[in-house]
Structure formats: C-alpha cells, structure tokens
C-alpha cells in the first residue's frame, strides 16, 4: 500500500477542503438546532421593550410572555400596525415602533401614547453602537422619562423637540455631550409620528369646550349631541335649536314636546 504523502500540496488541499466541509456542516446543524431558541429570545426581548415603554418594572414581572398577552393586543389601524395596551386601571395606551439612526449606528424604540393620542405616556430607546456614557445614555430611564407627559401635537404637526441645555414647556432636554444622538432620537420620533398622521388624527374623543349658560336640553333630537343638562352649558359647536336660549325645542320635536308638556 502506497504511503500518503502528507507534505504534498494535493493532500493539504484535500485535507483543508474536508475540514471546511465538516465544520460548515456542524455549524449548520448547531445553527438550525438553536434557531428556535434564538427566535424565542428575540421575541422575548421585543416584548420586554414594549412593556418598558409602559413604565413597567421588568424586575417585578415573573412571566413576561403572560404579562404581554394580558396587556397587549396587536392591531392594524388605518393601515398601520399599532400595539394597544389596556392597563390594570382600565386606561388604554397606543404603542408605536420607531427606527432611526444615531451617531454611530442604528437606534430604535417604542413610544406609548395616552388614549388622547397626544400625551406621551412612556418611551423606550435602544442602540446598536452609541458611545457608552454619552449617546448610550438613551437606554437609561433618566433620559426616557424626560418624555413623559409631553405632547406631540403642535402648530407644525406632530413634533417632539429635544434641545441642548435647559428645556422649557414641551421641550425635552438632550443628553449632555451627545447632541447628535439626541437629535437622532428626535428625528426618529418625528419621522415615525408623521408616518402615523392618519392614525393620530383619527381621534373620536375630541375635547369639548363649554360656552355660555343655556337651557337644560330635554329635546329627543338633541340629548345625544348636546351636553346641556350635565353642567348647564352647551358644547361649543352644538347647532341644535333647543340649545339656544329661550327658543325651546327644535322644529322637528316641537309637536312631541308640546304633547309631553300638555300631559
């Protein structure tokens, strides 16, 4: 039997090829075996991020999957995916996913809005490669809580403004020494809100404004559209006739009201 020349180029090439094939097969098998676990961990991390945007303390949550299923439903509203959270106190929050760019790489997060689709209830931000102690501070609660109770509606549309130095009013203070990353968060939020403009405008709970005193409305045509009787004040924009002082019921109901008064 001819002895194999282990020093030949042919042997080296064959040996290297076999080893590469074996290692590739092993890696493929391991990757395939671990993929379900990796996907499960990725999904668990996403759920943790969503729950964090609701200002929940993850350390106090024993089962993240169960808590997520209890609070969150995923819906398509006006063609956009929105997470709807119903908290234990019965309040409803809308959560929107955001993606953007920081100084060195990708940033992302979630913004949770109150039922008015205007007030920020909570936020969560994360990053790929921002500088620790500077841009990396977007992951801290100290920065994220600066957005709480701010409003996204402005004369210019949907706008969150992050500023250097002291913030006033609806402004949010930037991270000291990380202006570019902070502005990246600002751009990410405002770009996302602009994409969800139709959803944000679709607000059935329009705030009402009381005007002058008027009659107590009992007209069947108007009681569902006018708030007279609750506080003796009409809602601005109410056009029902019986809301106008001293004019009684609207023409459509004059006969039935007269009959009721006679009785």
SS3 of 155, please? coil
Are residues 252 and 146 both part of a single domain?
no
Is residue 136 a part of any domain in this protein?
yes
Q: What pLDDT score was predicted for residue 10?
A: 80
Is residue 62 a part of any domain in this protein?
no
Are residues 77 and 181 both part of a single domain?
yes
Domains contained in the chain, number = 3
Are residues 84 and 194 both part of a single domain?
yes
Are residues 128 and 94 both part of a single domain?
yes
CA 248, CA 260: separation in Å to the nearest integer?
Answer: 13
Asked if 150 and 172 touch (Cβ cutoff 8 Å), the reply is yes
Query: pTM score, two decimals?
Result: 0.66
CA 191, CA 99: separation in Å to the nearest integer?
Answer: 9
Is residue 190 a part of any domain in this protein?
yes
Are residues 217 and 197 both part of a single domain?
no
Are residues 33 and 97 both part of a single domain?
no
- Write down the residue that tokens 């210019």 correspond to: 156
Asked if 143 and 120 touch (Cβ cutoff 8 Å), the reply is no
Residue 89 has pLDDT above 50, yes or no: yes
Are residues 129 and 44 both part of a single domain?
no
- 15-24, 32-41, 101-110, 208-217: range with lowest mean pLDDT: 208-217
Domain final residue pick, 201, 220, 244:
201
Are residues 197 and 215 both part of a single domain?
no
Is residue 65 a part of any domain in this protein?
no
Burial grade of 169 (CB within 10 A; 0-12, 13-18, 19 or more): exposed
CA 107, CA 130: separation in Å to the nearest integer?
Answer: 9
Is residue 22 a part of any domain in this protein?
yes
CA 221, CA 202: separation in Å to the nearest integer?
Answer: 26
Are residues 119 and 237 both part of a single domain?
no
DSSP 135: G
Domain final residue pick, 159, 175, 201:
201
Are residues 156 and 248 both part of a single domain?
no
Q: What pLDDT score was predicted for residue 220?
A: 52
C-alpha 189: how far from its chain's center?
Answer: 10
Stronger pLDDT, 96 or 157, i.e. the higher one: 96
Is residue 61 a part of any domain in this protein?
no
Residue 15 exposure: Cα atoms within 13 Å on the Cβ side: 9
Confidence grade of residue 11 (pLDDT, cut at 50, 70, 90):
confident
SS3 of 29, please? helix
Are residues 230 and 196 both part of a single domain?
no
pLDDT in tens, 195-247: 998 888 865 443 333 333 344 455 555 544 444 444 344 444 444 445 444 44
Instruction: Give strand ranges (E) for the chain.
Output: 72-77, 80-86, 92-101, 106-113, 120-127, 153-154, 157-158, 162-163, 172-173, 210-213, 233-235
CA 126, CA 138: separation in Å to the nearest integer?
Answer: 7
- 2-11, 68-77, 99-108: range with lowest mean pLDDT: 2-11
Domain final residue pick, 174, 201, 228:
201
Q: What pLDDT score was predicted for residue 8?
A: 78
> Mutual orientation of helices 64-71 and 9-52 as an angle, nearest 10°?
50
Asked if 143 and 102 touch (Cβ cutoff 8 Å), the reply is no
Is residue 5 a part of any domain in this protein?
yes
Asked if 119 and 151 touch (Cβ cutoff 8 Å), the reply is yes
Is residue 57 a part of any domain in this protein?
no
Residue 1 tokens read as 């039997």
pLDDT in tens, 131-168: 999 999 999 999 999 999 999 987 667 789 999 989 98
Q: What pLDDT score was predicted for residue 254?
A: 52
pLDDT in tens, 29-80: 887 777 778 788 999 999 999 999 999 999 999 999 999 999 999 888 777 7
Q: What pLDDT score was predicted for residue 232?
A: 40
Are residues 164 and 95 both part of a single domain?
yes
Stronger pLDDT, 79 or 113, i.e. the higher one: 113
Residue 209 tokens read as 């404004």
Which structural domain, as residue segments, surrounds residue 235? 211-262
């Amino acid at each position: 039997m001819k002895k194999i020349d282990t020093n030949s180029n042919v042997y080296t090439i064959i040996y290297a090829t076999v080893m590469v094939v074996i290692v590739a097969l092993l890696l493929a098998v391991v990757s395939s075996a671990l993929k379900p676990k990796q996907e499960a961990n990725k999904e668990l991390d996403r759920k943790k991020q969503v729950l964090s945007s609701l200002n929940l303390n993850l350390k106090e949550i024993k089962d993240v999957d169960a808590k997520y299923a209890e609070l969150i439903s995923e819906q398509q509203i006006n063609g956009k995916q929105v997470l709807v959270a119903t908290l234990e106190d019965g309040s409803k929050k809308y959560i929107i996913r955001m993606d953007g760019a920081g100084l060195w790489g990708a940033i992302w997060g979630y913004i949770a809005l109150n039922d008015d689709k205007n007030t920020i209830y909570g936020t969560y931000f994360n990053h790929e490669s921002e500088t620790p102690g500077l841009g990396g501070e977007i992951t801290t609660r100290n920065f994220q809580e600066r957005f709480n109770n701010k409003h996204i509606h402005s004369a210019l549309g949907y706008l969150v403004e992050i500023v250097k130095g002291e913030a006033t009013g609806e402004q949010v203070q930037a991270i000291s020494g990380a202006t570019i990353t902070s502005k990246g968060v600002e751009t990410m939020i405002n770009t996302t809100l602009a994409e969800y403009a139709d959803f944000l405008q679709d607000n059935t709970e329009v705030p009402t404004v009381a005007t002058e005193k008027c009659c107590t409305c009992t007209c069947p045509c108007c009681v569902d559209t006018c708030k007279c009787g609750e506080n003796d004040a009409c809602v601005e924009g109410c056009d029902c006739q019986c809301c106008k002082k001293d004019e009684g019921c609207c023409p459509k109901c004059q006969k039935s009201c007269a009959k009721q008064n006679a009785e």
